Structure 1
Amino acid sequence: SPCSAVRPALPGYLVLCLAVQAHSLASAQFSVTGPDHPISAVVGGEAVLSCHLSPRMSAANMEVRWFRSQFSAAVHLYRDGQDQNKEQMPEYRGRTELLKDNITDGRVSLRIRDVQPSDDGQYKCFFESSVSYEDALLELQVAAFGSAPDVFVEGHQDGGVRVVCQSSGWYPQPEALWRDLQGQHLPSDSEKISPEASDLFQIEIAIVLREESNQKVSCHVWNPRLDQERESTISIAGLFFPRVNPWMVSLWVILAVLAVLITLASYCSWRQHRAKGKVRK
C-alpha cells in the first residue's frame, strides 16, 4: 500500500492516506434492490426471484444468501464462488438454482422449481462483501387453480332438493357461490372449507332448491389471487322435487270432515240423552 511507505510523523501524508482509505471504503458500499411488487407462481410451476446491487459491481466474490425468517436457514447459499448445497434447508434441496449469468454486474436470480404452497411468503436476498452487507425483501405469492366443481343432488330437504357443489386443489382458500340463469347470486344453505394434503383446500357449498324457484343453477368457485374461476351447471327435472299425492290430500280432507261430523253427532247424542233424562224426572 502507498500509505505503508509514509512515515507517521508526516501529517500531510497521513491525511492523504486516510482520504484514500475513506474513498476505498465508500466505493465498497452498496444497496440491494428487488422488485417492487409480489412475484406470482402457480403450484407445480417455477418462480424466479431477482435482485441486484446498486451501484453496479461484481458479486462473484461475495456471499449471496437467500433465506426466509431465519438467516441460518438458507433457501440457497452461494459462497467462495460456488453453491453451498449442504447448508440448504431440506425442503428446498433439489428445487433451487442460482442464475449467475449477470453476477459480475451484481444481478442474480433464484429459480424455485416445483413450487409448493409452503413456498408462499417473504424472502430476503442478502449480499455480503469483505467490508459491507445489505439485503432486500421480496414476496412470493403462490396460487393453485383447483378442479372443476362437482355438482350433484344429495337428497330432499325442507320440501325441496338439496344440491351440493364440491371442488378441491385450491390455494389460497377459494370463494364459492351459486347463480341462477340470469346470473343473480343465490344464497348458500351451507359452506365448508377443508384443508387437504400438500396444504391445498377443498370447498363445499350447498343450496336447497324448490320447484317453484330455480331448477337450473350454476356453481362458481373463484381464486381471488389469480382472479380466475371454474363453473359447473346443473338442471333439476321436476320429477326430482317432492310432490303431494292428490289422493292423499283428498283422504286427509275426508278424514277431517268425518272427525268433525263424529264430534257433532256425539254432542247431539249427548244433548238428546240429557233431555230425555230431564223428562223422566
Structure 2
Amino acid sequence: MKAQKGWSCSVFILLHMTNVTWTQIFKVVSPSSAVLVFVGENVTLPASLYPTMSAQTFDVRWFRDDFYSLVLSYQDFQIRPERQSQAYKGRTVLFLEELLNGNVSLRLQDVRVSDGGLYKCFVDSGPWNDEVHITLNVEVLGDQPSISIGSTEHKQTKLKCMSEKWGTTPDLTWRDMNGVDVTSESRVTEERDNEGFLRVSSFLPVKQEFSVFSCLMRSKAPKPDWHSGLTIYVFSPGVPGWSVVFWLSLFLYVAVAGLLIFQWRRMKGHKARYESKAYFLQLYYLRKEIEKTKAPDFMDSTLTGNS
C-alpha cells in the first residue's frame, strides 16, 4: 500500500513539474485497418482525440515519410498552406468545425497513385503530444481487357487476354463456351510501365478446333467488374472459314427468330387480353342500355295501375 501511494505521489510530482494535468493528456486514435480508395475519388483519413477534447488551440500536422513532408499543417487557429508540400496544395481539408469535438481527420481530394502509403497525424497541445499512423491503399481499375489470337513456338493456337493500367494484380478467369473454368490451363505475366501501372497478360493454349472463350479480369477490391466484351470463335487451319461463317450466321438467325417469336407471342397475349376485356365491356354497356329501356315501361305500368 505504501509503495502504491509512493508511486502515485511520484507521478503527481512529475506531472506537476512538467506542467501537465490529467485533463491535458490525450491519445490520437484511428481505426487499425488500412483505408482503401480508388484513383480520382476523395477519401477521409480518420483520426480523433481520446478522451474527447477540443483541438482548436493545438497544432495538428499530417505528414508522410518525415516530419517536414507536410500534407497539411494547422497552427494558431488556421491552416498554414505555405508549409504544405506542393503535391498536396488545394487537395486537403481539415474539418475546422469538428476540431471542437477532437476530430482531426484529414480529407484528401482527387486521389492519385502517388498518394498511397503511410500517413502520420501529429497533435501537439504544448505540454503534451501524440501521433497515430494510417495506411492509405490506392486502387486502380485497369482498362477493358482485349483478346487476341496468336500461336506458340510449336505453332499451337493460343489466346492472349491483356489489360493495362492496373494498380494491383487483378483476379483473372478464363471460361469456355460451356462456362467451364479453364484458368488453370493459362499462364499469366505482368510488368510495370513508366507510370508504375501494371500491364497484365494471360495466355491460353487452344486445343479445340472450334470453341468460344471469354476472359474476365476483376479487381480484388469491392468495385464493379471489368471484363472483356469480346468473345473469340477459335478455329484451326483445318476448318474452312465458310464453315465458321455458316454456323455463326445460323446462330444469329436462330437467336433473332427466337426473339421475334417471343415478341409475337407476347403481343398475341396482349391482344387476347384486350379482346377479352372489350367483350366484357360490350356486355356491360348492353346490359345497362337494356335496364334503361325497361325502366320507363315499368314506371308507365305502375302509374296506369294506380289510376
Fold match (TM-score > 0.5) = yes
Judged with a 3 Å threshold, the aligned counterparts in structure 2 of structure 1 residues 55 and 235 are, in CA distance, closer, same or farther, namely: same
- 3-state DSSP class of the match of 1:182? coil
Match of 1:162 among 155, 158, 162: 158
1:130 to 98, 101, 126: 126
**In the aligned structure 1, how far is the partner of 2:14 from the partner of 2:232?**
83
Indicate the residue corresponding to 2:116 in structure 1. 120
Q: CA deviation at 1:20?
A: 10
Residue 121 of structure 1 deviates from its aligned partner by 2.0
Is 1:210 the equivalent of 2:207? yes
Give the CA deviation at 1:126.
1.1
Q: Once the 2 structures are TM-superposed, how far is the Cα of residue 55 of structure 1 from its aligned partner?
A: 1.5
Out of 42, 45, 64, the position equivalent to 1:49 is 45
TM-score, normalization by structure 2: 0.66
Q: Distance in 2 between matches of 1:89 and 1:197?
A: 24
Count matched residues. Answer: 226
Given candidates 216, 221, 226, the residue that maps to 1:225 is 221
Cα offset, 1:47, TM superposition: 0.9
Q: Report the 3-state secondary structure (helix = DSSP H, G, I; strand = E; otherwise coil) of the residue aligned with 2:100.
A: helix
The percent identity for this pair of structures is: 26
C-alpha change, 1:129 and 1:186, in structure 2 (3 Å) is closer
Alignment partner, residue 236 of structure 1: 233
What is the one-letter code of the residue matched to 1:215?
A: S
Q: 1:44 to 1:198 in 2, by over 3 A?
A: farther
Structure 1 stretches of 4+ moved >4 Å: 17-24
- CA distance in structure 1 between the partners assigned to 2:73 and 2:133 by the alignment: 16
Shift in CA distance, 231/18, structure 1 to aligned 2, threshold 3 Å: closer
Asked whether the 8 Å contact 1:162–1:207 carries over to 2, the reply is: yes
Gaps (5+ residues) in structure 1?
Answer: 1-16, 246-281
**Closer, same or farther in 2 for the Cα pair 1:164/1:171, shift >3 Å?**
same
Deviation of 1:69 after TM superposition, in Å, equals 2.0
2 CA distance for matches of 1:24 and 1:195? Answer: 52
Indicate the SS of the match to 2:231: strand
Q: TM-score, normalised by structure 1?
A: 0.71
Cα separation, 2, equivalents of 1:88 and 1:62: 18
Q: Is the 8 A contact 2:28 2:123 kept in 1?
A: yes
AA at the equivalent of 1:140 = L
Q: Does 1:99 align with 2:92?
A: no
**8 Å CA contact retained: 1:152, 1:234:** no
- C-alpha distance 199-20 of structure 1, shift in aligned 2 (>3 A): closer
Residue 175 of structure 1: CA displacement?
3.6
More strand, by proportion: 1
Structure ranking higher in helix proportion: 2
The corresponding residue for 1:193 is 190
| 1:36 paired to 2:49 | no
Give the whole-Å Cα distance in 2 for the aligned partners of 1:176 and 1:112.
31
* 3-state DSSP of counterpart to 2:55: coil
Say if 1:177 and 1:188, in contact at 8 Å, map to a contact too: no
Q: Give how far 1:112 is off.
A: 0.9
Q: Which runs of 5+ in 2 are unaligned?
A: 1-11, 241-307
**1:152 alignment counterpart:** 148
Q: Structure 1 residues 188 and 90, CA, compared in 2 at 3 Å: closer, same or farther?
A: farther
